[in-house]
A and B are shown apart, each in its own frame.
Chain A
Amino acid sequence: NAGVTQTPKFQVLKTGQSMTLQCAQDMNHEYMSWYRQDPGMGLRLIHYSVGAGITDQGEVPNGYNVSRSTTEDFPLRLLSAAPSQTSVYFCASSYLGVGTEAFFGQGTRLTVV
């Protein structure tokens, strides 16, 4: 059982480039989300989805785009990378319900130069 799989693990981008971070889960979870982790700030929610075809913005959505065409996949697109987007990105999934456990991928360390 793979759980939540993120690719790539590391990425260096030049300012202005675009890229897609991939996230896939095999647990049939309805809820998927993307967070960014910055030192001293914990994890902040970028975008989330409660099912295929449904997405919504989190706390820090600017500069990012998402889509959810299947239950399994939830890619995060950086439209035009900026140095402020240098961070570690985590994808998570869970069932919908009270107090459900979120399962996290191993993260993508992104550096924008």
Chain B
Amino acid sequence: GDSVTQMEGPVTLSEEACLTINCTYTATGYPSLFWYVQYPGEGLQLLLKATKADDKGSNKGFEATYRKETTSFHLEKGSVQVSDSAVYFCALSEDAGGTSYGKLTFGQGTILTVHP
């Protein structure tokens, strides 16, 4: 079945440091890939997405590129802020038609803490 593997966490950085959170996936078809973010005490919200190979998703200074050859979707940001402290989830949906739309498979989540 489908699976998503994220880098082990938690990650602790100083403000303005560079961030990379690794994500690799296993899927039988042509998945869409997502990064969701969960701020303390809140539900998840979409950070960015990519729906086909070589697409780059970007939002709020975060970027991730859909790499089919390495089955990866690593999250990057050049300069993190204290307000970026949250839990980040990589996820995929297997878009093969029928009832697979919307079913998300999540990685285990990476806790990011940014210190001033």
Contacts and interface: CB of A to CB of B under 8 A. Distances in A.
B107 A42 contact: yes
A98 B44 contact: no
Contact of B89 (A33, A43, A56, A95): A43
Determine the interface band of chain A, counting residues with CB < 8 A from chain B.
20 to 34
Contacts of B7: none
Interface string A75-113: 000000000000000101011111111111111000000
Contacts of B36: 102, 104
Interface in A28-76: 31, 33, 35, 40-45, 48, 50, 56, 58
A107 B39 CA distance: 12
Interface in B7-51: 32, 34, 36, 41-46, 49-51
Contacts of A104: 36, 43-45
Contacts of A21: none
A101 B46 contact: yes
B101 A90 contact: no
Interface of B: 4, 32, 34, 36, 41-46, 49-51, 89, 93, 95, 99, 101-109
Interface of A: 4, 31, 33, 35, 40-45, 48, 50, 56, 58, 90, 92, 94-107
